[in-house]
Amino acid sequence: MTEQGTFTRDMHYLPDRITADGRDGWPLEPGRYRLVIARACPWANRAAIVRRLLGLEDVLSMGMCGPTHDERSWTFDLDPGGRDPVLGIERLQQAFFARDPHYPRGVTVPAIVDVPSGKVVTNDFRQITLDLSLEWRAHHRAGAPELYPEPLRAEIDDVAEKVFRDVNNGVYRAGFAGSQAAYEHAYRDVFGRLDWLSQRLAGQRYLVGDTITEADIRLFTTLVRFDAVYHGHFKCNRQKLTEMPVLWAYARDLFQTPGFGDTIDFAQIKKHYYVVHRTLNPSGVVPLGPDLSGWLTPHGREDLGGRPFGDGTPPGPPPDNERVPSVG
């Protein structure tokens, strides 16, 4: 938090990468690593979606923390005995301390952990999904889509940076603002960018090109949380997502696409924000709404053309142990 009350995100993450050639000391080996997420977290949600779309379930296992945490760490309270069955730990913090006993920063998800050593390799959410697309290519399922196609990378990066600054992180700058001026500045950034996105998407089905890319995934995880959390809890209340016709149709289109909506657990999302953020919600009361049935209504975006998976195919159903409750 700055002196002016502006929320500033700590963007320093463990920079190591798991690569096909092992140049960072972490060679890509099927079954060696475990992706740790929390369903509640939008940054972790990105990694879960990309893993699903690319069909990496059999080569990269996934551990799931519960929706709440304390000042120390995310915890594995959803697992029997409160312990991750593969890593054998109760707190994600233990994997960070295995890497660095004096690790000084926040324990965040997503994180990829080296199972043999128990050490976290990286928690750089920005790079994790790109590496799943590029470095893990040899292990993609047949028919996996190109989420970061080389000819469109500059445009994807440009759009994704705007979305991150003003939307993904913008809602947090509004929600955690420590002054009226900081809040109003963030609020205007959020809705100014949402208006820009509405104009961009009015005539095209996806953000960049005619297929789903990394840019769409990064926007979706904020939009899907907007009415449930950000509209009220973070005071981003000019409009609800359901009151922005283009973005609401776009979000429903993605939600109904295999690999997107089947990673979303609205109950865990609401529990995380309303229970953990006691400075914003001292009572810890979790709202019952909003009505979720609209997510499954027709969106009409097919009329804009586009091919969701390009020359590829949709992913199959999620593994039984990774299914989330349906909104239907």
Q: What is the pLDDT of residues 47-91, one digit of tens each?
A: 999 999 999 999 999 999 999 998 889 999 999 999 999 999 999
CA-nearest of 212, 81, 199, 192 to 144 is: 212
Q: What is the DSSP letter of 318?
A: P
Q: Model confidence at 24, in pLDDT bands (50, 70, 90)?
A: very high
Q: What's at 29, amino acid-wise?
A: E
Supply the pLDDT for residue 3.
62
Cα torsion 39, 158, 53, 219: sign: positive
Query: Is the pLDDT at 328 greater than 80, yes or no?
Result: no
CA-nearest of 217, 327, 322 to 267 is: 327
Between CA 122 and CA 132 the distance in angstroms is: 13
Query: Is the pLDDT at 142 greater than 90, yes or no?
Result: yes
Supply the pLDDT for residue 107.
96
Catalytic residue among 33, 65, 148, 172: 172
Mean pLDDT of 224-235: 98
* Residue 172 designated active-site: yes
Classify domain 150-322 by CATH number.
Answer: 1.20.1050.10
Helix and strand numbers (H, E) in the chain are: 9, 4
Between CA 106 and CA 116 the distance in angstroms is: 23
CATH topology assigned to domain 33-139: Glutaredoxin (3.40.30)
Domain ranges of the chain: 33-139, 150-322
In the chain, the percentage of residues whose pLDDT exceeds 90 is 94
295 among annotated binding-site residues:
no
Supply the pLDDT for residue 1.
62
* Residue 236 designated active-site: no
Q: Going by DSSP bridges, is the β-strand pair 111-114/61-65 parallel, antiparallel, or unpaired?
A: unpaired
Between CA 126 and CA 300 the distance in angstroms is: 31
Q: pLDDT per residue over 161-210, tens digit each?
A: 999 999 999 999 999 999 999 999 999 999 999 999 999 999 999 999 99
Catalytic residue among 41, 65, 148, 183: 41
As a whole number of Å, the end-to-end CA separation of the chain is 40
